[in-house]
């Protein structure tokens, strides 16, 4: 059974005003004091962000429990410092990001200027284990057209600097400003993958291998494929659904590779359009169908994804969980839909933050 781990970035906010608060350093110090040696939480680019990482799990119920537990622990540590956490992929309220001061982040700020200063966005990365770099690259080649669907499912950033962005996942559009971010061409072999990474670093445009921000990549730290396209999800159940589907996609891709089935040969230009469409519409409009690259209602694309990974989900015992998760998502909505409905019903953006703080832990 492939293991799965999740990394989530949370927004630190004032519990009364909803304004983002640059309190990551004291929150991390408090976490280290209360739970020494746990190493669950980490600093991020800005002081208004807090990251946690789960352990690798083979049972998705255990993974879901750990996501919920980490969110609650993050809230507990934050509340002791006078703030709280919200699973928001962008701040609905205006904010001036406070850069975390270390050599790496300072280099990013100097190198990329305003593109760095606008990166106060919170994502969710899913690590799925693979047996080798050869299997991993084969998986990367076959995941490509389906990654925008995971963006649509997770979409949770409709507001930006006090305004409606017109996107469901504006975070993904902000993230795409990094020079190494986005979809990739087919690699075909580990050698070509690693050569491409080395060539990118050698240009000097990016700092190092860790800045190769492909939509999905081989992890430099773990024997995993790292899927990097998702917003942090408002609800832990949605994060678990993304992780479940990501594992299903990885297993399905690996089986296709072993069976000698070729990877879909969509161009990067089409994949970028699919990513844009997913960011714009989320689950409430049309997506580009990964098979045809033509518009199709999002609900039908999600059900096609379930069909694609059905055998893998059956094998891991996750089929019912995933099917139920997709139906619940379509019925009740993702974070983008929840946020916009609050405003449509007369709520302010501060009300949005308050409600999302509550739902983050719920």
Model pTM score: 0.97
| pLDDT attached to residue 36 | 82
Average pLDDT of every residue of the chain: 97
Structure-token match 């293991």, residue found:
3
Contacts by 17-21 with C-beta closer than 8 Å and gap 24+? 17/350, 18/92, 18/93, 18/349, 18/350, 18/352, 18/353, 18/354, 18/357, 19/93, 19/95, 20/48, 20/91, 20/93, 20/95, 20/120, 21/48, 21/82, 21/83
- From the list 142, 219, 121, 248, the residue with the least C-alpha distance to 186 is 142
pLDDT tens track of the chain, all 362 residues?
Answer: 999 999 999 999 999 999 999 999 999 999 999 888 778 999 999 999 999 999 999 999 999 999 999 999 999 999 999 999 999 999 999 999 999 999 999 999 999 999 999 999 999 999 999 999 999 999 999 999 999 999 999 999 999 999 999 999 999 999 999 999 999 999 999 999 999 999 999 999 999 999 999 999 999 999 999 999 999 999 999 999 999 999 999 999 999 999 999 999 999 999 999 999 999 999 999 999 999 999 999 999 999 999 999 999 999 999 999 999 999 999 999 999 999 999 999 999 999 999 999 999 87
E strands of 66-160, at which residues?
84-86, 123-129, 159-160
CATH number of residue 261's parent domain: 3.30.590.20
Question: 316 lies in which domain range?
Answer: 4-361
User: Whole-angstrom Cα distance, residue 320 to residue 302?
Assistant: 15
> In the chain, what's the furthest Cα-to-Cα distance?
57
The count of structural domains within the chain is: 1
Helix, strand, coil percent content, the chain, rounded in steps of 5: 50, 15, 35
């Amino acid at each position: 059974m492939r293991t799965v781990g999740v990394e989530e970035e949370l927004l630190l906010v004032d519990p009364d005003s909803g304004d983002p608060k640059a309190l990551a350093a004291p929150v991390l110090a408090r976490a280290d004091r209360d739970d020494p040696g746990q190493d669950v939480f980490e600093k991020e680019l800005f002081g208004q962000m807090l990251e946690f990482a789960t352990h690798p799990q083979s049972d998705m119920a255990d993974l879901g429990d750990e996501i919920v537990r980490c969110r609650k622990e993050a809230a507990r540590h934050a509340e002791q410092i006078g703030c709280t956490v919200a699973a928001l992929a962008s701040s609905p309220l205006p904010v001036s990001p406070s850069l975390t001061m270390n050599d790496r982040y300072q280099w990013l700020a100097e190198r990329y200027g305003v593109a760095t200063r606008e990166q106060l966005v919170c994502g969710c990365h899913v690590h799925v284990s693979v047996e080798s770099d050869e299997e991993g690259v084969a998986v990367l080649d076959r995941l490509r057209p389906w990654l925008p669907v995971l963006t649509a499912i997770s979409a949770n950033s409709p507001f930006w600097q006090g305004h409606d962005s017109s996107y469901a996942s504006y975070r993904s559009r902000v993230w795409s400003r990094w020079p190494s971010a986005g979809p990739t061409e087919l690699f075909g072999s580990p050698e070509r993958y690693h050569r491409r990474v080395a060539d990118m670093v050698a240009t000097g445009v990016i700092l190092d291998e860790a800045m190769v921000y492909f939509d999905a990549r081989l992890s430099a730290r773990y024997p995993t494929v790292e899927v990097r396209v998702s917003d942090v999800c408002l609800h832990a159940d949605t994060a678990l659904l993304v992780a479940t589907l990501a594992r299903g996609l990885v297993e399905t891709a690996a089986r296709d590779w072993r069976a000698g089935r070729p990877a879909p040969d969509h161009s990067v230009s089409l994949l970028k359009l699919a990513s844009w469409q997913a960011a714009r519409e989320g689950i409430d409009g049309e997506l580009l169908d990964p098979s045809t690259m033509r518009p199709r209602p999002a609900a039908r694309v999600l059900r096609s994804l379930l069909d694609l990974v059905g055998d893998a989900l059956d094998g891991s015992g996750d089929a019912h969980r995933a099917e139920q998760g997709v139906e619940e998502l379509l019925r009740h909505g993702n974070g983008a839909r929840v946020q916009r409905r609050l405003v449509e019903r007369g709520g302010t953006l501060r009300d949005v933050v308050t409600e999302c703080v509550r739902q983050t832990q719920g």
